Amino acid sequence: MSDSGSESVSESGSESVSESGSESGSESGSESVSESGSESGSESGSDTIRALMPSQALSRSIGLVQATAMVVGTIVGASIFVQPSEVSRAVPSLTGMLLVWTTAGALTWFGASVCAELSSAMPRTGGVYVFLREMFSPACGFLWGWAMFWSMHSGIIAAIAMVFGRYAATIVPLSDLGIRLTASAGILVLSAINYVGVRPGSAVQTGLTIAKLAAIAVIVVILFGAGTLHAPAAAGATEPRSFLRALVAGLFAFGGWHMVTYAAEETRDAERTIPRALMLGTALVVVIYLALNAAYLFVLPLDRVLASRHIAFDAMSATAGPAAASAISVLVLISAFGGMSGIVLCGPRVYYAMAEDGLLFSSMGLVHHRFRTPYVAVVAQAIWSSVLVLTGTYGAIVSRVVYTEWIFFGALALGTVRLRRRPGYATAFRAWGFPIAPVIFALVCLAIVSNQIVSDPRESLTGLGLVLVGLPVYYVWSRRTISPRRTSITKVTKNATY
């Protein structure tokens, strides 16, 4: 899902960024009206347009706390309560497992730092879509958005919703249809909340994240405080291919860190708030994941870790008994719902940005006159995600396509190196380690993609084909009027390294 954008960046069309970092949606809207020649119209007609613009602008309601909660809540879904056993089966040793989680955390942190720099340079709705559009081409951006809607983003919503439904069935018995209906209901409820405003949407996200972190802290304290130490022993040698397979599983558990960039124009002082949220949020998640994995290995024998498919439940059962372990189902419900909340909030902002660029139906760019949300995009995402749940097609689609996002992440890292050479490029945040770190990051992304293709060539190439099918669709759309909002990347803020 990439941003379809223009290589040429207007220096004047977007200089409505004040020194404090906040952007005026109405100012930029007024500029675009005047630049398109509306000044030649009647004065009353022009006044009418200007009067309508503030109500059509997205609402800036997200602060640092909400943005950080979005980063943490989106990353920490349900996979950390299951995925550690996937890692341990590929790398069956204490050293190997901790190395995998540390490496996955470091890669996530660096990827987040790249997005943080780009967000401070281009704090526009659409995030990654905008970055790819401005660094490469509209076609590249379109592919990101194409894959997002039809597979990656909507499919992930459906997958997490199904986790929510399955764990709800452990509390209230449900048939398969009941699980799917419960999953769809979760999607529709969260979509309805985000339909009526980004403020209630981010408030729900923040509340669920706080509850989730409190529960995780309790689990870690119980496991370390009441558990019996089991000195872990290696169950086999670690091979490079196995390490890479484990790393992919670990990175899946860290997925979602980039989504906060999608809502930049609804974030106060976005060019500073989003970088800080990304750095704080990913650092906190790394600490949480290392603590949880260390606790699992502390209380469970390695053979139990390798065999477990509900590792958090098994660890709590071994430490505090079945009654305490049953609370894990409630935690997973909260965690899945919280993760889904952030993803539901973020996705429609990309479709909104694409519509504004003329790459989607114009209705997807409509902003609700009262709630100031991209309501048509919210509804479209909810419908398609629910269809994926009810038809059961989400699993096949996501498993085939999700690895392709690492192609785009690697491109972002290399594109940032190129962007830094552009005259006038200045940001409020600079990622560290350039140019060596982004090259290493891109090579790791290439290794992940190559390993996936080698491991399962048929399914992987099918997924890549599903993404590339977007190219002919793009060229059909590009025959229409494409008018991307130009994003000035020449900032008045001083360079800073966080």
Q: What's the helix, strand, coil split of the chain in %, to 5? A: 70, 0, 25
Condensed to tens digits (0 to 9), the pLDDT of residues 201-255 reads 999 999 999 999 998 998 899 988 876 666 555 555 667 778 888 888 888 788 8
**For residue 268, how far is the Cα from the chain centroid?**
19
* pLDDT of res. 236: 58
Render pLDDT for 166-214 as a digit per residue (tens, 0 to 9).
Answer: 888 888 899 999 999 999 999 999 999 999 999 999 999 999 999 999 9
Q: Could you give the CA distance from residue 181 to residue 134 in angstroms, rounded to a whole number? A: 40
pLDDT by residue (tens digit) across 416-431? 999 998 888 888 899 9
Tell me if 481 sits within 8 A of 362, measured CB to CB.
Answer: no
Asked if the model's pLDDT at residue 40 lies above 80, the reply is no
Q: For residue 114, what pLDDT is reported? A: 95
3 state DSSP class of 326: helix
Q: Is 173 exposed, middle or buried (0-12, 13-18, 19+ CB in 10 A)?
A: exposed
What domains, with CATH codes, occur in the chain? 65-477 (1.20.1740.10)
At 67, which amino acid appears? A
**CA–CA gap between residue 427 and residue 452 (Å, rounded):** 35
When mean pLDDT is compared across 105-109, 422-426, 472-476, the lowest value belongs to 422-426
The dihedral region occupied by 65, where left means phi > 0, alpha psi between -120 and 50, and beta the remainder, is alpha
Give the integer Cα–Cα distance in Å for 278 and 177: 38
pLDDT of residue 130: 96
The interaxial angle of helices 375-391 and 176-195, nearest 10 deg, is 170
Q: What are the DSSP calls for 187-229, one per residue?
A: HHHHHHHHHT-HHHHHHHHHHHHHHHHHHHHHHHHHHHHHPPP
Q: Name the β-bridge partners of 23.
A: 17
Mean predicted lDDT score pLDDT of the chain: 81
Q: Which of 232, 272, 278 is nearest to 258 (CA)?
A: 278
pTM score of the predicted model:
0.82
Cα-trace Rg, the chain = 23
